[in-house]
Amino acid sequence: MQDTPKGNRLHIAMFGRRNVGKSSLINALTSQSIALVSAVPGTTADPVYKAMEMLPLGPVMMIDTAGIDDEGTLGTLRVEKTMQVLTKTDLAILVLSAETGVSAYEQTIAAAIRERGIPLVGVLNKMDTAAFNQSKLEEWGKALELSLVPVSAVEHKGLEQVKQQIIKQAPGDWDSMPVIGDLLNPGDTVVLVVPIDLAAPKGRLILPQVQTIRDILDHDAYSLVVKERELKEALGNLRKPPRLVVTDSQEFLKVDADTPPEIMLTSFSILFARHKGDLETLVSGAKAIDRLQPGDRVLIAEACTHHRQADDIGKVKIPRWLRQRIGGELEFNWVSGGEFPADLSSYKLIVHCGSCMLTRREMLYRLSVARQANVPIVNYGVLIAWVHGILPRALLPFPAARSILED
């Protein structure tokens, strides 16, 4: 995912004085072991841009302003550097330490951020130290007119609440992960396998198929739309092989057989798991299926309250596949529409719908809530690919998710 175009990444700038724990917080939020900034203060005031993954948000551009924190006052150079950063910032995080609290620096930065209409998330780090208490949290929050999230970067506490604030406050046009376009080069052909069965709406295509065709056009590539029966012939008619074959999950096994191994193959469900959520988080959730024990509780969550068919996927098929997979009974609970249950702690797995009725932001928020409760979460599409054994090949275009699968 390191090649996600810069424009698709949420740019998050991290502000705070030295020793409040900015670098530790960045490392903790992104779970990356590489130290981003050494413990020794930098000799330059230049901010550091790092493209990284922040689960479940996906690719972000983290702007570490470690070099432009204060030295008592904001010197001219530091003010300039700060302004320069803010022109590229989608969302700012202001980090305070329980040991040092609010100074003129935080007041000035917060005002500059607000002046530009940039969303601001406040963090009070070092809640693990003796210096922390609840009244300081409230007092400093009041001083900055900002709700501060208590965090311990070193103990990895409060991180999911910070992510939830990021998801909630990120600007409106941010949640636009392309369906497929970031995987393509101009002039690429993508073969889309669209079975026409009884479930296909009369005279139409289903929306994910239409969105995929459109996204391919938007990225100067083109799609060959074909039924599974004509796939082999259609592939043979192309002089240059396609960049990718995308199939409806139902036909994966046939399409797998008809697609030469050197051509990448994935499914619409996998594309939309990524487009509408975070593929890595969902793949981790799929792996958790094999850790389930008979008697475990599983939550099945649907965002809408659709009319259920006789062999409804959420009510019938998924419970059946899971029982077969673990070879025993499970305790299922279902929720639909509105909100997640407040207490997720009794569940061993959450299975979420494809979230076509949710925005990406809403889905990322739900992923984050599940992570906070330490409950693995998977969606219908990734679960189906996993229980049918097609996930390994379907993840080939997504190295980060693939490496989670192989861990």
Positions in the binding site for a copy of itself (CB under 8 A): 186-187, 189, 194, 196, 200, 203-205, 207, 210-211, 213-218, 220-227, 229-230, 233-234, 236-240
How far apart are CB 277 and a copy of itself at their closest, in Å? 17
CA distances from 207 to 77, 167, 181, 231 (A): 51, 25, 17, 21
CA distances from 287 to 113, 205, 354, 406 (A): 41, 32, 18, 10
Residue placing its CB nearer to a copy of itself in the complex, 211 or 355: 211
d(CA 189, CA 389): 26
Residue placing its CB nearer to a copy of itself in the complex, 171 or 392: 171
Reading the block at residue 188, the tokens are 């690429």
Residue placing its CB nearer to a copy of itself in the complex, 220 or 290: 220
Q: Give residues with Cβ within 8 angstroms of 136, minimum separation 6.
A: 98, 101, 124
Residue placing its CB nearer to a copy of itself in the complex, 239 or 307: 239
**Mapping DSSP to helix (H, G, I), strand (E, B) and coil, where does residue 126 land?**
coil
How far apart are CB 159 and a copy of itself at their closest, in Å? 32
How far apart are CB 239 and a copy of itself at their closest, in Å? 5
Residue placing its CB nearer to a copy of itself in the complex, 223 or 267: 223
How far apart are CB 210 and a copy of itself at their closest, in Å? 5
Q: Is 51 exposed, middle or buried (0-12, 13-18, 19+ CB in 10 A)?
A: middle
CA distances from 7 to 63, 160, 256, 340 (A): 14, 25, 33, 32
Indicate the length of the chain as a whole number. 407
Q: What are phi and psi of 151, to 5 degrees?
A: -140, 145
How far apart are CB 269 and a copy of itself at their closest, in Å? 18
Run of H or E including 352:
strand 349-352
CA distances from 228 to 186, 243, 255, 393 (A): 25, 18, 7, 18
How far apart are CB 176 and a copy of itself at their closest, in Å? 9
How far apart are CB 205 and a copy of itself at their closest, in Å? 5
